[in-house]
Structure 1
């Protein structure tokens, strides 16, 4: 990662999400829902009730996909990090995060974890602005470095 180094980690809690993508997806989902409801209401009388219900269901499915795509975020708080991706969420303790990666060309931040695996953090992505994503990744890295050194992972 390159770019300006933030002077201090941000105050907790902090949430990072792709704002531009989210705004477009939420607006498109609302528009899709309205269009499909409107179509179901203005269909000619020759269309049956099951046709109208199918249109409403299609609108709900398309809107649901848009809402699902708008879900990603990364939330840091004193206890750790919540990574919310498209379908799954994962709660991490600070000590579980070994490295925060955002390389040139990466679609989003990747977290290297203490168990040897990696986790995509889709809430920080350059598609909404490279400088903003680099700044967020650096802040998350600084928080992980600062908090991971002073905490122990939770044991089950």
Structure 2
């Protein structure tokens, strides 16, 4: 068993940086390609050009939404930003921080008996970064609240 790490300084933001860079880069590239194709093709009408540009914006918007998740830890607690929701938690509300093998992201066990997915820490592309971030969040929960580590 590894030695627990000291908690990082606050405030700290955890986010899947590689995934975010890939999604935003791909969204920007698709927007540029669709817009350039619409503007440089002489056979398109004005409506076609607007449609292609709008489609590029929609694709970029969807990918930006997928890149939105993050977990922000401050002295007051944790803010979990997922794709469509944001939830603020006091440290005392977090009972356990879980990231088990095969999990798509961190799950927070809460004092009211529910579980909250924290999509801002996900092992998809950068597994080691997610493990480091999960351990740091676990250390913060243990230091600031009633958190217990999961085995």
Give yes or no for TM over 0.5: yes
Distance 1:55 1:82, change over 3 A: same
Q: Which runs of 5+ in 2 are unaligned?
A: 147-151
SS at match of 2:60: helix
CA contact (8 A) 1:80 1:94 kept: yes
Q: 1:5 deviation in Å?
A: 4.1
1:8 pairs, out of 6, 9, 33, with: 6
Query: What does residue 106 of structure 1 align with?
Result: 103
Query: What does residue 47 of structure 1 align with?
Result: 44
Q: 1:129 deviation in Å?
A: 2.8
CA contact (8 A) 2:5 2:139 kept: no
What whole-Å deviation, never above 9, does each CA across 1:49-68 have from its counterpart, x for those lacking one?
11111111100110111111
Q: Which runs of 5+ in 1 are unaligned?
A: 150-156
TM-score when scaled to structure 2? 0.90
SS at match of 1:127: coil
Query: What does residue 30 of structure 1 align with?
Result: 28
What whole-Å deviation, never above 9, does each CA across 1:12-44 have from its counterpart, x for those lacking one?
011111111111111111101111110121122
Query: What does residue 114 of structure 2 align with?
Result: 117
Distance 1:105 1:121, change over 3 A: same
Query: What does residue 139 of structure 1 align with?
Result: 136
Q: 1:134 deviation in Å?
A: 1.8
The number of residues matched between the two structures is: 146
Output the CA distance in 1 between the equivalents of 2:23 and 2:3.
31
